[in-house]
Chains A and B, each alone.
Chain A
Amino acid sequence: MHHFATDVLVIGGGGAGAMAAYEASKHGVKVTMVLKGFPERCGITIMAPGAIAGVGSWHEPGDSRDLHFLDTVRGGSFLNEQRLVRILVEEAPDLILELERIGALWQRKADGESYALRIDGGHSYPRCTFLEDRTGREMMRALFGEVKKRNINILSNTMILKLLKDESRVTGAVGLNLETGETVLLRAKTVILTCGGAGNLYLNTSNPTGATGDGYALALDAGAELMDMEFVQFYPLGFLFPNSLRGNLGALLYYVHLFNNKGERFMEKYDPERLELSTRDRVARAIYTEVKEGRGGPHGGVFADMTYHEPGFIAKMQPALYETYQKIGITPEKDRLEVAPTCHFFMGGVRVDENWQSSVPGLFVTGENAAGVHGANRLSQNALAELLVSGARAGKAAAKLAAEIGQAPVDPREAKTATELAGQMLSREDGIRPVTLRNRLRRLMWEKVAVIRSEASLRGALVELEVLKSQLESQALSLKSRHYNQELVEGLENYFLATVAQCVTKAALLRTESRGAHYREDYPAADNKRWLKHLTIRQKADDLTVQEIPVDLAEIKPEGGAL
């Protein structure tokens, strides 16, 4: 067993983790990052093509932070925690500049000085800085430059399996070194959990393979509360072919007309005024309905048509995507691309306070792993802003707390128990392969707990999830090696995914209304009288208990038909 001690332990290697580690290191404490993959090669941030929302000195006339606040809360159907949104809009602009101070460079207008700004659905003004179509990668470069400069310790290829606690607070974590197969016992004064979302819960996802909800399940197990887990965002236009590209973002809504297999431009039925420019949730539901009712294409999607543009337009507006089209044999000037909704983002996560600290003392949670900022639906470009703000807040608070307290002892026997699972899986001769179980889970969630839900579909899913959960105990591997065993990782991740699946399904069943990304065909309207509330989930023994808590409406209330 490998023992390791640090002041602040950051679990996760995406942008929110790097930001938290960077900030914490400014406060004179020892910081360690532990990553499931390799630095700058794992996490979801490296895939982010978008931009960072923030109203700074560069804003357009008429724009303001109040307006960014309003856009965000309206976009979230008033289920956002408003004090967190206020922090987001007030603190994101300076962090956008701070990233430039440490090496990022945002796209500028012709004068070489003012930022080029993007606008996307839900924002009132162009207010989002970017670099080409790889803003996330640029953020990672700048942040990891600082991580190296500051000699922040990185344990890569190490998967965390359990958080450790004494009676009063978090005391560290147990992991498995995926290179050596060795158990790693990490003692820490404070822990920042930042494992991203769980897109791999669904058949189609834009997320990388490692996004398996580890952080949700770890926090739940440690006694923290999850909140808003029923709100899962589906981007309407994901690739369906080739298979490995399945779910990756395939086209942009404002450049396509959508057709079903009867040649009908079906959005005319669902939103005759805005058509494809309707909101993401509506378009996703329309596509899902067309396919379900037998009007889909051969791969289970609908057809995105871009042939009406003048030649050269698509190549100019989406250079990276255009290259992908060519690779897969699509000429957007004459062919139609088959697309379907794809799991893109989890609005829910761990419930946190203004320092992004959970209800477990010393356990902080940042980025997509946390809940509260986005409410029932996330506005585009707010995710990258959130990772900066939450990372900076949590990094600072976790470092300050760590400086005040001592290291608590941990029991090495706990570490042994946590990694026993891996040993059992490796030695089991016959059973179900993790990839088989994973595919079943993803299909089940896609069919019953995705874009359109009902009491019947959700109850059915809960029953099937129980069965899948029991099959976790009979997972067996083809490859018996302890070194770099992807199959072993998949098997362990399946435990996390199954827990998250239950949380999403339970909360979705209880919320008898439709709001933001959560749509119940048996309760198709929003119900502000009954449901201006969060659902929180806690684990008690082996049971998940759900509670209703009020929403923070400190600044604005949903009067005036804003929903």
Chain B
Amino acid sequence: MQDGKVTILRFNPEVDSQPHYETYDFPFVQGMSVLDVVLYIYENIDGTLSFSYCCRNSHCGLCGAKINGKPGLMCRESAAREMVLEPLDNFTVIRDLMVDRQEYDKRKDSLRLFLERGEVPAKQPEKVDTEDQENFKVVSRCVECYNCVSICPVTRVKKHEFLGPAGLMQMARHAFDPRDELNRGVVARSSGILNCINCGKCNQVCPHKIEPAKNIKLLRSKYFGEV
């Protein structure tokens, strides 16, 4: 066991006029997760430290934070002896590391994120194109942790014109569903998909290795004939 040091950006809008950094000592063990560190502080040093988590193993997408400047799920990332933790960029901070994901969750409501289909197949289970199913499977791994949204430079400047990579991955699930009958290109366009500059930053922070930029490109070639 060694000494570890973590600096956390604290902000409680009920009492603080602005955010400030605070540094805490913790017993560092090789292999411990970042979530271990914040839980240690919460249980032993400062019970007012606020952060979100639920499943502890990258299924709920709630424990995202900026770890030494890079967005990641705290349950998934190994702690370093010295760290800086900050809330995700491009989100409103509720308190400390807790951010308001609902502003993005709500944007999904207009996307018709369900299977659009006229008739039930005559025979079940039905035959499905396995190649199409591959892409559907990959984008379906998205847990909407919004790491990609927080690092997206287009979202930063065009928050209202661009839905962001995570929302587009939700849409892609249905666009890549071989059974879906809706032309989702219209919604893709109005969600600002053509604003994506394909910088690929989102690919580097996805905990489930979905490569949003690549899939956005696939959507664009499907609906707008881009190559």
Interface residues of A, Cβ cutoff 8 Å to B: 37-42, 46-47, 57-58, 97, 100-103, 105-106, 108, 110-115, 131-132, 134, 137-138, 141-142, 145-146, 148-149, 208-210, 241-246, 248, 324, 327-329, 433, 435-436, 439, 477-479, 481, 483-484, 486-487
Contacts and interface: CB of A to CB of B under 8 A. Distances in A.
Given A108-B133, A208-B55, A329 B30 contact: yes
Interface string B9-29: 000101000000000000001
A244 B47 contact: no
Contacts of B173: 141
A39 B108 CA distance: 12
A436 B42 CA distance: 11
B50 to A, nearest CB: 7
B78 A484 contact: no
B130 A110 contact: yes
A464 B32 CA distance: 32
Of B55, B75, B101, B130, chain A has the most CB atoms within 10 Å of the CB of B55
A487 B49 CA distance: 10
B125 A328 contact: no
B2 interface: no
A214 to B, nearest CB: 15
A479 B102 contact: no
Interface residues of B, number: 61
A209 B54 contact: yes
Contacts of A137: 59, 140, 143
8 contacts: A38-B62, A38-B105, A46-B59, A58-B125, A101-B124, A142-B115, A328-B31, A479-B50
Contacts of B60: 37, 41-42, 46, 208
B125 A113 contact: yes
Given A208-B54, A209-B56, A435 B47 contact: yes
Contacts of A248: 56-57
B80 to A, nearest CB: 13
Contacts of B177: 103, 105
Interface string B28-69: 011111011001101100111010011111011110000000
Contacts of B55: 46-47, 208-209
B54 A112 contact: no
Nearest to A45: B59
Of A105, A439, A477, chain B has the most CB atoms within 10 Å of the CB of A105
A148 B31 contact: no
B127 interface: yes
B124 A145 contact: no
A242 B33 contact: yes
B128 A113 contact: yes
Nearest to A239: B57
A154 to B, nearest CB: 10
B47 A242 contact: no
Contacts, number: 159
Given A141-B140, A433-B47, A244 B14 contact: no
B109 to A, nearest CB: 7
Contact of B62 (A41, A101, A149, A245): A41
A145 B125 contact: no
A563 B97 CA distance: 52
B36 to A, nearest CB: 5
Nearest to B79: A242
B57 A324 contact: yes
Of A41, A108, A241, chain B has the most CB atoms within 10 Å of the CB of A41
A302 B98 CA distance: 36
Interface string B75-98: 111100000000000000011001
Nearest to A487: B47
B78 A327 contact: yes
Contact of B39 (A46, A57, A244): A244
Nearest to B78: A327
Contacts of B103: none
Nearest to A114: B125
Given A37-B54, A435-B43, 16 more contacts: A41-B54, A42-B54, A46-B55, A97-B125, A100-B124, A101-B120, A105-B133, A138-B140, A149-B114, A209-B53, A245-B57, A246-B56, A479-B47, A479-B50, A481-B95, A484-B50
A69 to B, nearest CB: 23
B106 to A, nearest CB: 11
Contacts of B59: 46-47, 134, 137, 208
B3 interface: no
Interface in B111-166: 112-115, 120, 124-130, 133, 136-137, 140-141, 143-144
A149 B117 CA distance: 13
B12 to A, nearest CB: 8
Contact of A145 (B35, B114, B127): B114
A-B complex: 4 closest residue pairs judged by Cβ atoms:
A478-B47, A145-B114, A103-B115, A244-B35
A114 to B, nearest CB: 7
A148 B54 contact: no
Given A102-B115, A108-B125, A329 B31 contact: yes
B14 A115 contact: no
Contact of A105 (B36, B46, B136): B136
A245 B36 CA distance: 9
A142 to B, nearest CB: 8
Contacts of B77: 327
Nearest to B63: A244
Contacts of B98: 484
A244 B75 contact: yes
Given A210-B54, A244-B36, A435-B43, A328 B78 contact: yes
B204 to A, nearest CB: 16
Given A37-B54, A38-B101, A245-B57, A106 B125 contact: yes
Nearest to A436: B43
Contacts of B32: 241-243
A42 B53 CA distance: 10
Given A242-B33, A327-B78, A208 B56 contact: yes
A329 B115 CA distance: 41
Given A47-B55, A145-B113, A134 B141 contact: yes
A46 to B, nearest CB: 5
Contacts of A42: 54, 60
Contacts of A324: 57
